[in-house]
Structure formats: structure tokens, C-alpha cells
Amino acid sequence: MHATLPKLQDTDFPAIRRGRLETLQVNVGYQCNQTCVHCHVNAGPSRTEAMSRETVDEAIAFLETSGVGTLDITGGAPELNKHFRALVLAARRLGIHVIDRCNLTVLEQPGQEDTAEFLAANAVEIIASLPCYLEENVDAQRGKGVFEASIRVLRRLNRLGYGQPGSGLSLNLVYNPQGPTLPPPQAPLEADYQRHLQERYDVRFNRLYVLANMPIQRFGSLLISKGRFEEYLALLKGAYQPQNVESVMCRTLVSVDWRGYLYDCDFNQMLELPLRLAGRPRVHLRDLASRRLDGNVIQVKDHCYGCTAGQGSSCGGALAP
Ligand code: SF4
Ligand code: SF4
């Protein structure tokens, strides 16, 4: 795979600082049952990196003292980490809102037979990638048969109450473009998804989050191979909207890797750009207990233009819908 960081280092992205920490995003490992073309994690079945019980306990200790309101669990496929449920249960006991970034098909993997019920019983919000409502586009990006399996799982989640009015069980979908283009406006695309998935498949969901592809990891490498990296970066820069800088997710979120090290966001984690604090080159979760991150300088590079282009892009979708 081609390295993308050398092409992003020399940046003119504005300097930004952290606000109040609201969300702890924990990447519990890179193992995944899928190998999607656009994966910014380069996850797959052969990856072995997984958060240990000891590091999960350090994350729980941080949740107990930090006052964050949301735990956002990501991967890989987070459910494949054997301590996933312990982390969810501990956070829920603390009254913390929990998000599972779920690829849907993992819920049909051996050993995951009751994971959907576990998520529903603990009122875990599910955010799931479905990069199109057309089968051929999803299978091209995420693998053959992924669309059909995803629809099966969405229907099962609906039967458990997910995406149903008044259930309190949120089911949100994520769209990203197939190629090196900006995503379309979120609201009309959400309406198209709602209509198509309901009429054709009887599937319901709450919100559609529209995300830009980041020019890093597998997608960035693909662009380099095709000689289109610079063109895509120019597109992101050309669509820069300064008002989006105020609400990029790194201002209120901190990302933790499977070993417990901290980053300003998941993208920086994948680029191995650690969060810097008090002159330290690397900060571990256990070092953070007594420190606040407010006002800390965020590590920005040219990929940050992926968050500010057009309507903006964050783990919660468009910034300026
Ligand atoms: S399902 Fe998600 S984590 Fe797994 S390969 Fe696809 S994009 Fe990456
Ligand atoms: S890529 Fe990360 S550090 Fe850069 S603006 Fe987006 S969230 Fe912030």
C-alpha cells in the first residue's frame, strides 16, 4: 500500500485547538470480516491488533472520571473484540451514551448470533455503513453479497425496534461516494434512501450521515495508484468552507487506538499522527486522567480538508447540512 502521509505533511490547513471533550472514540482493533475498498483503517480478517482487557479497563477508568457523555466504539468490526461487551456494559452503567460503528454483516458471523439483541437491550446506537441503496454499488465497494446481508440485518434490527418511532433505538446509516468526488447534499439523499429502502425492502432507519472519503490508507493508496491523488486533494481544497472549521469533530472528540494511545481523531490515528500534549510525543489514556485537553493544539495536515469541504464531514455526517 502507498504511504499517504508524505503527500499530506506540507499543509496550509488553519491551526485549530480543542474545545471541551464530549466523546471518547475507542478503536478496539483492526480485525474485520470485510475488506472494503474505501476502508480508512485498512481493516480485514487477517488483522490481529485488538485492545486487551487491561486497556479496556483503562478506558473504563477514564470514562468514570472524565465526564464525557458519549463512548463511540469503532474498529475494524468492534463486535469481534472479545471485550466489546464489557466495555459497553461499563459505559451504560455510568449512564454514558454508546455508539457502535457496526458494519451490519458482522452480526451474521459465527459467535455473533445474539449481538443484535445485546445492542438493543443496552440501547446502543448503531451507525452502519451502507454506501448506496443499490446492490451493485454496495457490493462493488464492500464485497460481493454485502448488500443482501446488510438488508437482512437491517430488517432484523428493525424487528428489535431499531429505527422505529418511539423505540429509543437509533439506527443511522452512513453514505460515502464511490469515487474521488464530493458527497451530494445530505438531506435529499437521506430522503431518497428512506423512500427506496422502505418501499423496496421494508427497511427503516433514523438518519443518513454523508461522509467524504479521506485521502488516506486504502482509498488514498488507490488514488495514488491511479494517479488521481493530487486531483482529489485539489477538489477538497477547492471546496473549503471556513465555517466548517468551527465544528470539525476533533474539537470535542479524542480517539484511542487499540493500545490506548491518543489521537485527535480516527484519521490521525490511521496516519500515526499522535495527539501532542505538554511537549510529549505520545500520550496514553492512562496519562490523561488528571489532565484536561481543552485548548490543546490539534495535529492538522492536508487530509483535514476532507472534513471541511462543501457541507463538511464528520463521524456524525455533514457539518452544515
Ligand atoms: S466494514 Fe468498516 S472497518 Fe471493515 S473493512 Fe469495511 S470500512 Fe473497514
Ligand atoms: S482530519 Fe481529524 S484532525 Fe483533521 S480536521 Fe478532521 S477531525 Fe480534525
Q: What is the pLDDT of residue 283?
A: 94
Nearest to 181 by CA among 271, 37, 43, 309: 309
User: Which residues, 6+ apart, have CB-to-CB distance to 218 below 8 Å?
Assistant: 1, 36, 37, 38, 39, 40, 42
Closest atom, ligand 1, to C-alpha of 105? 1
Task: State the helix-helix crossing angle for 84-93 and 53-66, rounded to 10 degrees.
Answer: 20
Residue whose CA lies nearest to ligand 2 atom number 4: 304
Look at strands 253-256 and 262-263 and give their pairing: antiparallel
Alpha carbons 206 and 224: distance in angstroms, whole number: 36
Ligand nearest to the CA of 38: 1
Candidate of 25, 35, 41 to mutate for ligand 1, largest count of ligand atoms within 8 Å of Cβ? 41
* Residue 61 CA to ligand 1 centre (angstroms): 28
Q: Which residues of the chain have pLDDT under 50?
A: 321
* E strand residue ranges, 181-305: 208-210, 253-256, 262-263
**In Å, how far from its chain's centre is CA 7?**
23
List, in order, residues 6 or more apart from 202 with CB less than 8 Å away: 155, 158
Q: Which of 149, 151, 171, 150 is nearest to 160 (CA)?
A: 171
For ligand 1, residues with CB inside 6 Å are: 32, 34-36, 39, 41, 43, 75-77, 103
Q: Cell match 427497511: residue?
A: 203
Nearest CA to ligand 1 atom 8: 39
Question: Residue 126's closest CA among 65, 206, 210, 182?
Answer: 206
Nearest CA to ligand 1 atom 5: 35
pLDDT at 36: 81
Q: Which residues pair with 297 in a beta bridge?
A: 17
Task: Determine the distance separating the centroid of ligand 1 and the alpha carbon of 28, expressed in angstroms.
Answer: 13
Q: Which residue's CA is the nearest one to ligand 1's atom 6? A: 36
CA 12 to chain CA centroid, nearest Å: 25
